Amino acid sequence: MAKSGDKKRGPIATALGRVPRWVYLTAALVLAVLFPLLHSAGLMDMLWIRVAIRSLTFVLLALGLNVVMGETGLLNLGYVAFFAIGAYTTALLSSPSLGFHWSFWPLLVLSMVFAMLAGLLVGLPTLRLRGDYLAIVTLAFGEIVRTVFLNVTSITNGAAGIPAIYTPNIFGWVVTEPPQFYYLILFFVVVVVIALTNVKNSRVGRAWNALREDEIAAIHSGIDATRAKILAMVISAGVAGLAGCLFAYYQSFINPTYFLFMQSVIVVCMVVLGGMGSIPGAVIGAIVLDSLPDVIRATFSDWLPRVFGPTFMASWPAWLQSFFTDFEKYRLLLFGIVVVLVVIFRPEGLLPDTLWRSETHEEDPREQEYTRQTLFDIDEGNQDLEA
Amino acid sequence: MSFEQVFSLTVSGVTVGMIYALIALGYTMVYGVLEFINFAHGEVFTFGGIMAAVVLGWTGVSDAMPIWLRVVCLGGALVAAVLATVGLGLAIERLAYRPLRGRSRIIPLLAAIGVSITLQQLMILVFGPDSIIVPPSVVPAQFVTLFGSRIRVLAFIIIGVSLLLMLGLTYIVRSTRIGKAMRATSQDIEAAQMMGIETNHVIAFTFAVGSGLAAVGGLLVTMYYGSIRFDSGYIYGLKAFTAAVLGGIGNIPGAVVGSLILGLAETYGVGLNLGLLMWFFVAGLAAGLYFQLVRAPKRRLKHIREEDRTPAYEREIMRLYLLAPVYAVRVALAKRTDALMAVSARHALQLTLGNVFLAVMAIVFFLNGHAQIDPQWQNVIAFAVMMIILLFRPSGLLGEHSQEKV
Amino acid sequence: MAPVLELVGLTKAFGGLTAVNDMSLTVEPGEIVSIIGPNGSGKTTLFNLVSGIYEPDSGDILLEGESIAGLRPDQIQAKGISRTFQMLRLFSNMTVLENVLVGMHSRTKTRLLGAMFRLPWVTREEKEAVARAQEILAFFPGRFSGPRQSQPAASLSYANRRRLEIARALAGEPRILLLDEPVAGMNPAESLEVMQQIRELRDRGQTILMIEHDMKVVLGASDRLIAMDHGVKIAEGDPQDVANDPRVVEAYLGQRDAAAS
């Protein structure tokens, strides 16, 4: 009878919740499209467009990881491997290094296909394993992929990387300037958001969520767990492959240091912060965490001194000054602390898939006397069946 | 390859395996009581090593000191490192993990990842991104000659110390009250609580012991390789965890066995030539064929319903395992699938694929007998070994086949 | 006519403990068969064998004459056996409606590409599925109306959670429904209501195999009763006869004495 989900919303949240969703989405889309015009109007440095492109790349990665981690509840710690495979495929087939010059669309598809094959390769043997093992095996796989790219120098050029990736030519439109890349990647972000939202609200998405909630019950509802998990893994890998392809074109140079384990962890942080299973959450989490260092640096080294005068920080202790101006050094530390805090105090994330909320908080105490004993299993969430 | 070379490699493999074991025990004990992977354990290990090196630096130990004094400094540094690391481990458990007990599996794992990043970054900020060295004066530089090969004395010290610690741990787990409490808690935490066991204390103790062992491992590694870095924990932690999983996570002897296997595998893998490594695949193939052609069909035969049991049916099951792919296709195409046949066909196919893989590897290695695997692939070997073993034995080598309670 | 479910000499042992020992039983179409027995008698293990969680050591399970032993649980559900769980396994963070829709997984066909592109037949199937789900929920009149369908399952009262689990199982259009302690933890009024609804299901043609401890429900709803103890069938037949069978009484009392000492 008591709706434990409703109890936690404050007045602001309720007011915001009344605005229909499409208003938010349209507003966001309009803002996103108009964003580069700020630069053309001379109001904004090109830097911010670059930041936006990088953030949108992470948005794609977060959306992809959300499918396997947020929707299905599987922890993939080697996610960056799929990103790397997409990027290297594009780089190798569209640069002087191997003498290929594939055109954009076939290469994009191929990058995704290779990433998806890798997802299949990792998923098939490992998805029968318990969730904890899966985390470590995917981590190991990520490392293996990076090591391969680093060491097979005859093809991948090892640590030196692959330079001079050609500019993409899409139906005659040659993409060279950052604003153009921005629109290119924005297009794909919108497509992926729509596609994943459609899947989330369908039989397929429900099957994934069911596996996350209670695998045994899901299996007994007719869901082939292994197939569904592999599908989630493959789809998430495909999105990473897409991101990798676009990334390679934009950077026009890639090397193994772009694909360290830390990148996998950062994407995990983004999905956790944004809200697992929440597509808008993944978008916001990625944008916030990725652009944070630049925003902080700009705020404290640039904007605030302009407003308050160049010496406004002079009275602050040195370490505090360096924290803001040198934020890059502290970025990862902050990520780590944020993840721990979010997971303990607000595990549903910033923009919860509103349903995720109730699991991770305590239940309404009135219900507890009925349910504590018999619902013990539900508190534990996704449990694995080891057959 | 001479015997001396192989022996020397074996000692190296065992040494590094013992170090992995010291770390792996921490992972496996915590998993045993909490069913949780303490991702931050690698950073705890690093912290122990760094603390020991830093404290040694403070003592100003040098070649000028007499040996007994150097040993005292080393001992003091070890004690300091262990205390600091145990404190760290307990703090992490209390602040980051305890609030999350009972939540879904993925949540505590994420917290552990967060703690791991935080610790690593703090270590960079406090101790700097460069390697930290241990003063050479405390590192025994002597060699002994055993069976014709020169082995570092330090290697034996590491093996000896590790064995001692493991024996100590075994004693604690088997014969002390807290050890029994640990075992009870790993079996069933609720039942243990109902028996009056203070599970919070047991868990804290588990973290403390694991962290202490990791600290010793950290010091030994720093001495063996001369230095340690903020990111050493990542690769050691990962390999140690791999070893724990390999042996069956939650299983203490399993962690040691897994660590030794991993240490030997990665040392042999880059140290022996392919001609010798081939024999491992041959052995594996022999075991695999035995399993596929003898044990598996025998087990399957027990499942036949009495009224179906005819010699013809039995022969068909045996043939299924012998000619798996052919039969698998036939069974897949058949309209009325006998459930037992379908399951057997799938099983047989998996086994065949496994054996084919082993055979192919053996042949490839045979054809390249004189080649050696480049050391840069060493980590890949460790991971590959783990992934392959998990493929065939998902609960690890000594792991229990724990059933979900329904 | 072939029995809906037939267990033939089913045996399952865990290490040294034989949880189910040479169990045989049949369930005819349209009847409600209940299994009773003290704790540890192997009832839930039996269900786990039928639903596919465990593979039998020996013996067979036949669904309308077809052997299903060794199949995975999802395959068995697709063939027509749905179950509920003693310890209630709902998808807590999914809505009431979604829980039922998941139950329909094996009766719907939407796959990834169709879902991604929102093809017309997918939208149609979804609409039909939602309508069917609402119909099933309506079987429990007044419990799951309107706005409640969009609430997370975690927010339901305990009794409604049990009902939701039954609804989810029914969504699979099972040939036989396995209910594992459907009224556990409910008060007498709720138990009575659920008992009547179970009878109503039977009247609509649903075959049911039930484990239950509440004797009022067992006697009020069952056509036949089977008693188990230590993995073995100790009595079978008319509910009143079995309930009063001295061996059955002793099995329960024996438990009570052991617990008391």
Give yes or no: residues B193 and B229 share one domain. yes
CA distance B211 to C233: 52
pLDDT of residue B305: 63
Establish if A197 touches chain C: CB-CB under 8 angstroms: no
User: Amino acid identity of C97?
Assistant: L
Instruction: Measure CB to CB from residue A333 to each of B106, B122, B379 and give the nearest one.
Output: B122
Distance of residue C149 Cα from the nearest chain A Cα, in angstroms:
12
Between these two residues, B404 and A315, which has the higher pLDDT value? Answer: A315
Mean pLDDT score of chain C: 91
| DSSP H stretches of helix in B231-333 | 232-247, 252-271, 274-290, 296-301, 311-322, 324-333
Contact at 8 Å (CB) between A350 and A13? Answer: no
- DSSP state for residue B183 in the 8-state scheme: H
| List of residues 6+ apart from C111 with CB closer than 8 A | A204
User: Residue A364 pLDDT more than 60?
Assistant: no
Measured CA to CA, the distance from residue B248 to residue C215 in angstroms comes to 45
Q: Does C111 touch chain A (CB under 8 A)?
A: yes
Q: Which chains lie within 8 Å of chain B at 3 or more CB pairs, if any?
A: A, C
Mean pLDDT score across all residues of chain A: 82
Question: pLDDT value at position B163?
Answer: 94
CB atoms within 10 A of CB B13: 21
How many CA atoms, within 13 angstroms, populate the side-chain half-sphere of residue B105? 24
The CATH number linked to B93 is 1.10.3470
Q: Are residues B299 and B217 in the same domain?
A: no
B80: Cβ–Cβ under 8 A, 6 or more apart, which residues?
A: B51, B52, B55
B343 vs C: CB within 8 A: yes
B390 closest CB neighbour out of A137, A269, A380: A137
Name the residue among B340, B343, B406 with its Cβ closest to that of C85: B406
Check CB contact of B406 with chain A, cutoff 8 Å.
yes
pLDDT at residue C258 in the model: 59
Percentage of residues of chain C with pLDDT beyond 70: 97
B246 with B152, same domain: the answer is yes
- How many Å apart are CA A64 and CA A58, to the nearest integer? 10
- The top-scoring range by mean pLDDT among A31-35, B399-403, C168-172 is C168-172
Q: Which residues of C touch B107 (CB under 8 A)?
A: none
End-to-end CA distance of chain C: 49
Q: Which of B302, B338, B403 sits opposite C58 (nearest CB)?
A: B302
List CB contacts of C100: < 8 A, sequence separation 6 or more: C133, C136, C137, C164, C167, C168, C171
Instruction: Say if the Cβ atoms of B338 and C67 lie within 8 Å.
Output: yes
Q: Do B223 and B279 fall within a single domain?
A: no
A344: which 2 tokens? Answer: 């303990």
Q: B263 and B177 in one domain?
A: yes
| Listed residues B269, B301, B326: the one ending a domain | B269
Residues B315 and B173 in one domain: no
Residues B291 and B264 in one domain: no
A352, A14, A378: which is closest to C153 by C-alpha? Answer: A378
In a domain, B392, yes or no: no
Nearest to C35 by CA among C7, C72, C16, C58: C7
Residue B51 covered by a domain: yes
Residues 229-268 of A with CB under 8 A from C: 231, 235
Q: Helices in B128-198 by DSSP H: which ranges?
A: 153-175, 177-187, 189-194
CA distance linking residue C70 with residue B337, whole number of Å:
12
Q: Which residue has the tokens 């318990």?
A: A130
CB C86 within 8 A of CB C178: no
- How far away is chain C from the Cα of A382, in angstroms, using its nearest Cα? 10
Q: Clarify whether residues B325 and B251 are in a common domain.
A: no
User: Which of A291-300, A353-362, A375-384 has the lowest average pLDDT?
Assistant: A375-384
Residue C257 banded pLDDT, cuts 50, 70, 90:
low
Same domain, B223 and B337: no
- Is the per-residue pLDDT at A131 higher than 80? no
Q: Which residue of B has its CA nearest to A72?
A: B106
The partner residue sitting opposite B339, judged by closest CB among C9, C70, C85, is: C70
- For residue C10, give the 3-state DSSP assignment: strand
pLDDT in tens, A324-343: 777 888 889 989 999 999 99
| Sequence-ordered list of residues with C-beta below 8 angstroms from that of B387, at least 6 positions apart, any chain | A125, A126, A137, A140, A141
Whether residue B377 lies inside any domain: the answer is no
For the record, the structure tokens of A221 come out as 């509802």
Over residues C157-161, the mean pLDDT reads 90
| Residues B306, B302: Cα–Cα separation, whole Å | 10
Contacts of B118 in chain A (CB under 8 A): 333, 336-337, 340
| Chosen domain end from B250, B269, B288 | B269
Residue among A375, A352, A222, A362 at smallest CA distance from A284? A352
User: What does the DSSP 8-state code read for residue C95?
Assistant: B
pLDDT for B42 equals 95
H/E stretch holding C227: strand C224-229
Q: Is residue B287 part of a domain?
A: yes
- Whether B205 is in a domain gets the answer yes
Dist. CA A264–CA A77, nearest whole Å: 6
By C-alpha distance, which of B79, B378, C178 is closest to A220? Answer: C178
Nearest alpha-carbon partner for C29 in C170, C163, C204: C204
The count of structural domains within chain B is 2
Q: Which domains does chain C have, with CATH numbers?
A: 1-80+174-261 (3.40.50.300), 91-172 (no CATH)
| Nearest CA distance, C212 vs chain A (angstrom) | 15
Interface probe for C, chosen from A6, A220, A229 (most Cβ of C below 10 Å), is: A220
Neighbours of A13 (CB within 10 A): 10
Mean pLDDT, chain B cut into blocks of 10 residues (406 residues total): 86 95 95 90 95 89 84 92 96 94 83 94 91 86 85 92 94 92 88 89 95 95 91 89 86 92 91 87 89 82 70 79 74 62 76 87 88 86 82 74 50
Give kind and range of the element (H or E) at residue A359.
Answer: helix A356-360
Q: Is B169 among the domain residues?
A: yes
Percent of chain A with pLDDT over 70: 86
pLDDT above 50 for C16:
yes
Q: Which of B251, B269, B287 is the last residue of a domain?
A: B269
Contacts of B338 in chain C (CB under 8 A): 67
pLDDT tens track for A97-130: 888 888 899 999 999 999 999 999 888 877 777 7
C-chain residue closest to A372, CA distance: C158
The reply to whether B52 falls in a domain is yes
Instruction: Please report residues of A whose CB lies closer than 8 A to that of B106.
Output: 69, 73, 75, 131, 381-382
| Inter-CA distances, A60 with A31, A32, A188, A288, Å | 18, 15, 8, 14
pLDDT at A60: 97
3-class secondary-structure state, position C20? strand
Total residues found in chain A within this entry: 387
With contact defined as beta carbons under 8 Å apart, do A179 and A48 qualify? no
Task: With respect to residue B250, please indicate whether it lies within any of the assigned structural domains.
Answer: yes
CB B49 within 8 A of CB B214: no
**Is residue B77 located within the same domain as residue B92?**
yes
Q: How confident is the model at residue A25 (pLDDT cuts 50, 70, 90)?
A: confident
Compute the C-alpha angle C62/C60/C28, nearest 5°: 35
Which residue in the block uniquely carries the two structure tokens 């590094």?
Answer: B16
B145 and B30 co-located in one domain: yes
Mean pLDDT, residues A55-66:
97
Work out the number of other CB atoms within 10 angstroms of the CB of residue B311.
7
Give Cβ neighbours of residue C62 (< 8 Å, ≥ 6 apart).
C3, C5, C6, C7, C8, C68
CB contact under 8 A, C69 and B338: no
CA B236 to chain centre: 10
Q: State which of A7-16, A198-207, A257-266, A302-311 shows the largest mean pLDDT.
A: A198-207
Domain extent for B288: 275-371
d(CA A226, CA A215): 11
Query: Could C90 and A3 be called an inter-chain contact, meaning their C-beta atoms sit closer than 8 Å?
Result: no
| Closest residue in B to A338 (Cα–Cα) | B114
A27-41, B227-241, C76-90 — most confident range: C76-90
Q: Which B residues, 303 through 342, put their C-beta within 8 Å of a C-beta on chain A?
A: none
Across the interface, whether the CB atoms of A371 and C116 are under 8 A apart is answered no
**Pairing relation of β-strands A100-101 and C232-237?**
unpaired
Chains in contact with chain A (at least 3 beta-carbon pairs closer than 8 A): B, C
Size of interface A-C (CB pairs under 8 A): 151
3-class DSSP state of C29: coil
What contacts 24+ positions apart, CB below 8 Å, involve B138-146? Answer: B138/B56, B138/B61, B138/B70, B138/B71, B138/B73, B138/B74, B138/B223, B139/B223, B139/B226, B146/B7, B146/B11
Q: For chain B, how long is the longest CA-to-CA vector? A: 86
Distance from CA of A387 to the nearest CA of C (A): 7
Would the CA dihedral through A324, A328, A329, A334 be positive or negative? positive
A:B CB pairs within 8 Å? 148
Which candidate in C43, C60, C87, C92 is best for mutational testing of the B interface (most B CBs within 10 A)?
C60
- CB pair distance less than 8 Å for C60 and B305: yes
DSSP C107-145: G----HHHHHHT-HHHHHHHHHHHHHHHHHHHTSTTTS-
Q: In terms of domains, do B180 and B302 share one?
A: no
